[in-house]
Amino acid sequence: MNLLEVNHVKKVYTTRFGGNKVEALKSVTFSVEEGESIAIMGESGSGKTTLLNILAALDKPTGGNVLLDGQDLAKIKESAVANFRRDHLGFVFQEFNLLDTFSLEDNIYLPLVLAGKSHAQMKARLDPIAEQLGIKSLLKKYPYEVSGGQKQRAAVARALITNPRLVLADEPTGALDSRATDELLKLFGAINKAGQTILMVTHSVKAASHAGRVLFIKDGEVYHQIYRGDASYEQMYQKISETLTVLTTGGERA
């Protein structure tokens, strides 16, 4: 069984006074297998963020459904949805979204504390993750004291600490310089290799070139997809660039 199944998801926004309707997603269908790493690409306004919000159960689709481990996200009760998100999904954001009132350690603990875990349990989980992400020495620092790359690594640690079924990343390299980007992508590769499923939404060809599969969204539909196969990062980069060129120069659907 697939880990995630997205079936004909449609999302229509209605403007406030009910006048105009905007179709953000027309009909998106794809599935994700356990252990995959997927990048979703598309221009601004193509519906990437809407899709991610629906996958994160932050928003509900107008039509179609999303199944995570066979469970329909739209059917989770309103009161349980936050808990579901916390227990099954990990998030990495472009702006890190660390709370500046917490040290990095406490930021990473946050989902576990909310889940009611004891301090000893939390520490046992944090130690190997902090080791892997290389932030062990930074744990006592506050967000304003560390660099963007370090913040993002802390955010990744926060996403991983609940052992989520799926990590959703929204432009994770968007606010990083090129060195930090490289490091983070390498890290994602390693985490993925260890079995973690990752779904990333990105603009960056470089970030996408590290994924196992790249989906292109245009006009609210999955327009195209590329599998890595045995291709190297460079070859993948090349393929993605070509696809994007076709996409933007407006070639009709092949």
Partner 1 sequence: MSGYMKMVMLGESPSGHLQGQDSLQGQNGPGRGQGGSWQGKNTRQRRKDVHPVSGNRFYVKLAWTGIRNNRRFYLPYILTCSAMVAIYYIISFLTTNPLFDQMIGGTIMRGLLILGCGVICVFSVIFLFYTNSFLIKRRKKEFGLYNILGMGKRSLSWILCWESLIIAVLSMTAGLVLGLLFSKLAELAMTNILLLESNYAFYVSPEAIVDTAKTFALIFLLLLGNMLYQVWKSNPMELLHSEQTGEKPPKVNWLFALAGIVILAGAYYLAVSIKDPAAALLLFFVAVIMVIVATYLLFISGSVALCRLLQKNKWYYYKANHFVSVSSMGYRMKRNGASLASICILCTMVLVMLMSTGCLYMGMEGSLRERYARNIMFDISAKDLGVSDSEYAEGLRGVVEKSAKDRGETVKNVLDYSFVDFGGYVMGDEVYLDSKEIRFQANTWQMFVFSLEDYNRLAGADETLGADEALCHVSKTHYDYDTVTLGNEAQLKTWNIKKQVGKFVDVGADASQIMPSMFLVVADVEEALAPWLYDMVEEGGQEMLRHWIYGVDIPCGDEKQKAIFNDMLENIGAMNERVMNEDGGLPFVTYVSECVAMERGSFYEIYGGLFFLGIMLGLVFILAAVLMMYYKQLSEGYEDQARFEIMQKVGMTARQIKKSINSQVLTVFFLPLLVAVLHLAFAFPLVYKMLLLLGFSNQNLLVLVTVGCVLVFALFYILVYNVTSRAYYKIVSPASSSGRSSR
Q: In the numeric block, which tokens belong to residue 7?
A: 């079936």
Q: Which amino acid is at 39?
A: A
Q: Does 99 bind partner 1 (CB under 8 A)?
A: yes
Rounded CA separation 65/159 (Å): 24
Q: Does 97 bind partner 1 (CB under 8 A)?
A: yes
The residues, any chain, with a CB within 8 Å of residue 120's CB and separated by 6 or more, are: none
Contact stretch for partner 1 (CB under 8 A) within 139-147, 192-200, 201-209, 214-222:
139-147
Rounded CA separation 68/32 (Å): 10
Q: Does 34 bind partner 1 (CB under 8 A)?
A: no
What is the x/- site pattern for partner 1, positions 5-24, by CB under 8 A? --------------------
- The DSSP bridge pattern shows strands 166-170 and 89-92 to be parallel
* Region of 47 on the Ramachandran plot (φ > 0 left; ψ -120 to 50 alpha; else beta): left
14, 29, 118, 163: which one binds partner 1 (CB under 8 A): 118
Q: Does 221 bind partner 1 (CB under 8 A)?
A: no
Q: Could you tell me the smallest distance in angstroms from the CB atom of residue 48 to partner 1?
A: 17
**Torsion, CA 186, CA 192, CA 196, CA 201, rounded to 10:** 70
Q: In the numeric block, which tokens belong to residue 212?
A: 């196992």
What is the x/- site pattern for partner 1, positions 60-89, by CB under 8 A? ------------------xx--xx-xx---
Q: Which is nearer to partner 1, 93 or 237 (CB)?
A: 93
What does the binding site for partner 1 look like in residue numbers (CB under 8 A)? 58, 78-79, 82-83, 85-86, 91, 93, 97-103, 106, 109-111, 113-119, 122, 142-144, 158
